[in-house]
Structure formats: C-alpha cells, structure tokens
Amino acid sequence: MTATVGVEVFLCDSAALVQGAEAVPFEVVYLGRNCRAFAFRFEGQVYAYLNRCAHVPMEMDYQPNRFFDSTGQWLMCSTHGAMYSPQTGTCRAGPCRGGLIPVKVHEADGKVHWHTSSQITQLEF
C-alpha cells in the first residue's frame, strides 16, 4: 500500500490550542509504526511533533498532553530531562540525539490541519 503525501487531515478547531494549556494529541503512522503526536500553540503559532524523545524514543509528556517545563519556554522530556525549542524541535539541553520529529501543520479559518508526508501518514481504519 502506498501512502499519499501531502494530504490535509483535520486536527482540531483553533480554539482548542491555547498557549500554556494542554497539547492536542493525535495518532499517526511514522515509518510504518503507530505513534502519538501532539500539537500546541506557542507565541501565537501552532506547532506539532511526534511524541518521542530524541534521546530514547519514549513519550515525553509528564502528565497527559503536558510538555512544557515550568518556565513555559521549553518542551521537556519527563523521563530524560531533555529540553527542546518549541519553534524548531532542536535539542537545547540534556541528553539528546538530534531533535524532535516535526509534523507539518497549518491553521486557517479557525481550523488546524496536519499534513501527511513520505514518513508520516494517517492511521488506516
């Protein structure tokens, strides 16, 4: 089966993504394996990444859908303490092997969509 690249998938209404609030989780297939991803708002923009620490591929949230450190400026892996830039997914501190894997998102007309790619596709139902 061939994955279609660049398909827009509805994620949520824009109002669901509030800075400082919980992220919105969603399921994807990454390189053929089911994986959780999360979307959030930071400094007015929407971003999304796979929920996988770059140090060891474990989910990062310290409470369900909570990813920011106590300052609200860095995404943090609850297991390893690695800190990532919300805008780029680049590791800034702690044990890392690269950065977070981004999921392309866009926001328009009060809706947020994510896009499939050659590596990240929709779950098949």
Q: What is the pLDDT of residue 124?
A: 78
Instruction: Give 98: exposed, middle or buried? Use CB within 10 Å, 0-12, 13-18, 19+.
Output: exposed
What 3-state DSSP class applies to 70? coil
Domains of the chain, CATH where assigned? 8-121 (2.102.10.10)
**Whole-prediction pTM value?**
0.93
Query: Is residue 94 within a helix (H) or strand (E), and if so which, with residue range?
Result: none
Instruction: Give 33: exposed, middle or buried? Use CB within 10 Å, 0-12, 13-18, 19+.
Output: exposed
Which residue, chain included where needed, has tokens 């977070």? 100
Q: What is the pLDDT of residue 46?
A: 98
Q: What is the pLDDT of residue 120?
A: 96
Q: What is the pLDDT of residue 96?
A: 78
pLDDT tens-place values along the chain, 125 residues long = 455 678 999 999 999 999 989 999 999 999 999 999 999 999 999 999 999 988 777 899 989 999 999 999 999 998 878 899 999 999 998 877 789 999 999 999 999 999 999 999 998 76
Q: What is the pLDDT of residue 55?
A: 79
Q: What is the pLDDT of residue 113?
A: 98
